[in-house]
């Protein structure tokens, strides 16, 4: 997904299929190469289509830093100037690299969390409709999930187990508790 921020008085660029408009720039980023120019006409001849797209979108200067983690391209951190041509400080890209790594790690973490939530949702759907009593118990003894079937088996609603972590042990008949504890 694309995320844009613009200074007051500047309209953020609308999301667009970036690869269609800037094929040369994308090819450079995929090779983990920085793209930096003060004027679009500084781009090489093979970037002619990119140059036209830049001029049409009003971009006068650009610094585009690839976001990569472990050699995997995650996106790009891009600074562009629309009002005037800007001579970018050559050291700026190095200063931005740690910020780019933070963004790339956030993208990876967000994707992993989304995948985890989707997996947990699938498990919960199955567990909610199973005839067996399913549960997830944390190492500290608290409950993370208790399926609705627990009420049919134990006579107690899932919320009771979530509220009282020791309830399962309490409902075990006294003569079996030592074996349960073992």
pLDDT the model gives residue 6: 66
Q: What are phi and psi of 87, to 5 degrees?
A: -90, 110
Separation of alpha carbons 142 and 149, rounded Å: 18
Task: List pLDDT tens digits, range 35-58.
Answer: 888 888 899 999 999 999 888 888
Least confident piece of the model among 3-17, 86-100, 150-164, 166-180? 3-17
pLDDT at 4: 62
Quick: pLDDT tens for 83-121.
889 888 878 877 887 777 787 778 778 888 888 888 788
The pLDDT assigned to 161 comes to 93
Mean pLDDT of the chain: 84
Q: What is the pLDDT of residue 57?
A: 84
Q: Is pLDDT of 13 > 80? A: no
Is residue 145 within 8 A of residue 128, CB to CB? The reply is no
Show the tokens assigned to 113: 């969390």
The model's pTM is 0.54
Q: Cα 52–100–116 angle (5° rounding)?
A: 110
Q: Does residue 150 have a pLDDT over 80?
A: yes
Mean pLDDT of 69-87: 83
């Amino acid at each position: 997904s694309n995320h844009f921020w613009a200074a007051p008085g500047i309209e953020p660029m609308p999301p667009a299929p970036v690869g269609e408009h800037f094929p040369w720039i994308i090819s450079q980023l995929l090779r983990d190469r920085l793209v930096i120019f003060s004027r679009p006409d500084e781009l090489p001849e093979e970037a002619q289509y990119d140059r036209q797209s830049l001029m049409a979108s009003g971009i006068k200067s650009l610094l585009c830093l690839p976001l990569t983690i472990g050699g995997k391209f995650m996106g790009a951190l891009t600074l562009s100037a629309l009002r005037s041509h800007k001579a970018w400080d050559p050291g700026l890209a190095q200063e931005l690299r740690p910020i780019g790594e933070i963004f790339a790690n956030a993208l990876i973490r967000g994707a992993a969390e989304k995948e985890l939530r989707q997996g947990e949702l699938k498990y919960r759907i199955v567990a909610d409709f199973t005839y067996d009593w399913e549960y997830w118990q944390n190492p500290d003894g608290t409950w993370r999930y208790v399926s609705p079937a627990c009420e049919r088996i134990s006579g107690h609603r899932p919320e009771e187990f979530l509220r009282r972590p020791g309830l399962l042990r309490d409902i075990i008949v006294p003569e079996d508790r030592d074996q349960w504890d073992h």
